[in-house]
Amino acid sequence: MPKTEKVEKVRVLTERFRTAGGAMFTEYRGLTVKDVTELRGELRKSDAT
């Protein structure tokens, strides 16, 4: 990825974090595909992106 694209991606992410009400990082290791799919579905219901 060219440097200009990286700079733009960082700018966009910085703005999203700045305006977010919160942030959550997760570790998916050990979960089944079914478990991850269910988790993502529940997060979507809560308007998580």
- Number of structural domains found in the chain: 1
| 10 belongs to a structural domain | no
Mean pLDDT confidence for 27-48: 92
| 17 belongs to a structural domain | no
Would the pLDDT of 24 be above 80?
Answer: yes
pLDDT at 1: 82
Residue with tokens 């992410």: 13
> How far apart are alpha carbons 13 and 25 in whole angstroms?
14
| 1 belongs to a structural domain | no
pLDDT at 28: 86
| 3 belongs to a structural domain | no
| 43 belongs to a structural domain | yes
Q: Which of the four pLDDT bands, split at 50, 70 and 90, describes residue 47?
A: confident
Would the pLDDT of 49 be above 80?
Answer: no
Boundaries of domain holding 31: 22-48
Question: Against a cut of 0.85, is the pTM above it?
Answer: no
How many other CB atoms are there within 10 angstroms of residue 22's CB atom? 6
| 26 belongs to a structural domain | yes
